[in-house]
């Protein structure tokens, strides 16, 4: 049985990917900072006949990630999904905010790569999938820190793909547009009244020419393909999954 490690696997896109990989026969190891989310997702996977366990992990903390991977003997697949959002342009991004976003979105990916790749090298094979963003490629208003971090995810993907291609390791990334996740739901609930919410939902949906936000399960569909043997000839690639967002840019 292949072991797939999914960061941020307790909710949203990470949960959808963990459940999909488990349904395809992987043992899913969920790394998440939320005990409730991590354990609930493990229960869902086991209820569906899959195999999974959860390790409480703060991807921004070196020792936390080191401890997590010390408990994982085999890493066949690594999905770097954990991430946080940030809204604001350069002038509205103080050093503390840049550090906060960098700690999770950039250093968190680095940490997991750092501790997982040697296990893959020893095994002679492995698959890495990083969750980047359309913000990795195009300018999006008021997303300075977030775009910085996702640009780094894209280039880390390319670097690892180049350096480890002769070690049997593939590395790709996915670049989604807006996906309807618990974060988006929380953003709408926290910042808009019941009267304002429908208009904002319509605006967020209309940003994708296809007319709606993506679904976590749709991202998981692409992720499962890129983590499978069906994509053995693919490495160093960044896949847009954006409802046409980049089409008109």
Q: Which residues are catalytic?
A: 146
Whole-angstrom distance, CA of residue 204 vs CA of residue 97: 24
3-state secondary structure of 188: helix
Give CB contacts under 8 A, 24+ apart, made by 210-214: 210/243, 210/244, 211/243, 212/243, 213/177, 213/178, 213/179, 213/180, 213/184, 213/243, 214/176, 214/177, 214/178, 214/179, 214/180, 214/241, 214/242, 214/243
SS3 204: helix
């Amino acid at each position: 049985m292949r072991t797939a490690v999914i960061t941020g696997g307790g909710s949203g896109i990470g949960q959808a990917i963990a459940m999909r990989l488990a349904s395809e026969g992987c043992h899913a190891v969920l790394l998440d900072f939320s005990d409730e989310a991590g354990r609930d997702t493990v229960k869902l996977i086991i209820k569906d006949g899959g195999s999974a366990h959860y390790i409480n992990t703060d991807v921004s903390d070196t020792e936390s990630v080191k401890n997590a991977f010390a408990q994982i003997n085999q890493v066949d697949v690594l999905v770097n999904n954990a991430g946080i959002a940030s809204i604001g342009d350069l002038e509205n991004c103080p050093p503390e905010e840049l550090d906060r976003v960098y700690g999770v979105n950039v250093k968190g990916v680095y940490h997991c790569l750092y501790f997982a790749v040697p296990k893959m090298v020893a095994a002679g094979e492995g698959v890495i999938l990083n969750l980047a963003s359309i913000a990795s490629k195009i300018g999006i208003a008021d997303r300075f820190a977030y775009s910085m971090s996702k640009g780094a995810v894209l280039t880390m993907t390319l670097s690892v793909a180049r350096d480890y291609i002769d070690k049997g390791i593939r590395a790709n990334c996915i670049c989604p547009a807006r996906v309807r996740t618990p974060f988006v739901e929380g953003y709408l609930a926290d910042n808009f009244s019941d009267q304002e919410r429908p208009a904002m939902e319509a605006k967020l949906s209309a940003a994708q020419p296809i007319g709606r936000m993506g679904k976590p399960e749709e991202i998981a569909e692409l992720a499962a393909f890129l983590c499978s043997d069906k994509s053995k000839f693919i490495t160093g690639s960044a896949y847009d999954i954006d409802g046409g967002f980049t089409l008109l840019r």
